[in-house]
């Protein structure tokens, strides 16, 4: 049975209460430190990784949003874990005031980190079915693979209409300007794609800077347990109204978090 828990407080303090190897996927939109918004204060990455490495379960991974130059800082903060770089095409321009000085940015980054092999469930896309037959005496359909991996010789190939996902993710926002409740709000559809790709049903997903908690909705709709953390009281209250069927809504101060950690150690 899945559960949903959201906490108010500093994420570095709150993560200290979580048991070792208790989270399967960390999926988070960290503050980039590139705006004047009150919530956009960067978290000390060395302390963040100290907690991430402790609480991540074997086979788990960390997926973080980013944008340059924050993307570069993220990669170099833990290069040995860096696995993949995806581009989210938002189909919507940002920073129109800079249009005369540089191309308008329509994308953000998604960075995948893991200490080793991790869960990967490719979300297949729809395409036109096709079939090919080889005229090559060696039995290759299309170009021969000279790299020693992947395609094997075969005389016929059929595709029923599926395509593997590519590194550019096209997800428009699924809310209107009137429905937007956080300036950095992400589409639930994109969050579901990440959760489905990098976790299994019943897994525990942590978002330690949940904001509007689109990640929490994605977990509810895909059968994952969810832990959300937020240090802005107003945003925390908004998230409480968005996370469906949360089994435990907890407002936590540093004092309560320390007491919880003490109880955990004493058990």
Q: How far apart are the C-alpha atoms of 198 and 119, rounded to whole Å?
A: 5
- Both 152 and 63 in one domain: the answer is no
Structure tokens at 229: 């953390």
- Both 71 and 106 in one domain: the answer is yes
- Both 159 and 174 in one domain: the answer is no
- Both 155 and 102 in one domain: the answer is no
Q: How many CB atoms lie within 10 A of CB 231?
A: 19
Task: Output the CA–CA distances (angstroms, integers) from residue 117 to 81, 108, 193, 251, in the order listed.
Answer: 10, 25, 19, 35
3-state secondary structure of 239: helix
CATH code (residue 186): 3.40.50.150
- Both 26 and 56 in one domain: the answer is yes
Structure tokens at 108: 């953000």
- Both 240 and 194 in one domain: the answer is yes
Using an 8 Å Cβ cutoff, are 96 and 60 in contact? Answer: no
| Helix 233-242, helix 214-222: angle, nearest 10 | 30
Pick from 139, 164, 189: which residue ends a domain? 164
pLDDT in the model for residue 129: 80
- Both 88 and 182 in one domain: the answer is yes
Q: How far apart are the C-alpha atoms of 191 and 22, rounded to whole Å?
A: 21
- Both 83 and 198 in one domain: the answer is yes
Structure tokens at 186: 């992400």
Domain tally, the chain: 2
Mean pLDDT per block of 10 residues along the chain (267 residues) reads 86 94 97 74 92 98 96 97 96 76 88 98 86 64 54 66 92 61 76 98 96 91 94 85 59 44 45
Structural domain range at position 135: 124-164
- Both 108 and 128 in one domain: the answer is no
- Number of helical (H) and strand (E) elements in the chain, helices listed first: 7, 13
pLDDT in the model for residue 226: 93
Closest to 194 in 3D by CA, of 82, 66, 3, 27: 27
Q: How far apart are the C-alpha atoms of 129 and 161, rounded to whole Å?
A: 4
> Where do the DSSP E strands lie in 95-178?
105-113, 125-126, 130-133, 156-159, 162-163, 168-170
- Both 137 and 172 in one domain: the answer is no
pLDDT in the model for residue 237: 83
Q: How far apart are the C-alpha atoms of 50 and 12, rounded to whole Å?
A: 10
Please count the residues of the chain.
Answer: 267
- Both 105 and 223 in one domain: the answer is yes
């Amino acid at each position: 049975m899945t559960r949903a828990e959201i906490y108010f407080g500093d994420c570095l303090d709150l993560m200290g209460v979580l048991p070792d190897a208790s989270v399967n996927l960390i999926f988070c939109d960290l503050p980039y430190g590139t705006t004047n918004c009150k919530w956009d204060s960067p978290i000390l990455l060395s302390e963040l990784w100290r907690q991430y490495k402790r609480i991540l379960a074997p086979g788990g991974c960390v997926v973080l949003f980013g944008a340059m130059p924050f993307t570069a800082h993220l990669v170099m903060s833990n290069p040995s874990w860096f696995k993949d770089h995806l581009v989210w095409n938002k189909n919507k321009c940002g920073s129109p005031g800079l249009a005369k000085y540089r191309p308008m940015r329509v994308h953000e980054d998604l960075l995948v980190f893991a200490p080793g092999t991790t869960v990967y469930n490719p979300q297949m896309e729809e395409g036109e079915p096709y079939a090919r037959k080889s005229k090559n005496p060696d039995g290759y359909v299309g170009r021969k693979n000279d790299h020693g991996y992947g395609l094997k010789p075969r005389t016929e190939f059929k595709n029923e209409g599926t395509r593997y996902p590519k590194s550019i993710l096209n997800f428009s926002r699924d809310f209107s300007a009137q429905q937007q409740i956080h300036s950095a709000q992400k589409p639930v559809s994109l969050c579901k794609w990440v959760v489905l790709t990098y976790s299994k049903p019943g897994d525990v997903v942590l978002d330690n800077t949940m904001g509007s908690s689109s990640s929490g909705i994605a977990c509810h709709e895909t059968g994952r347990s969810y832990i959300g953390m937020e240090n802005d009281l107003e945003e925390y209250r908004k998230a409480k109204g968005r996370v469906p069927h949360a089994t435990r809504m907890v407002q936590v101060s540093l004092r309560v978090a320390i007491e919880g950690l003490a109880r955990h150690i004493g058990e």
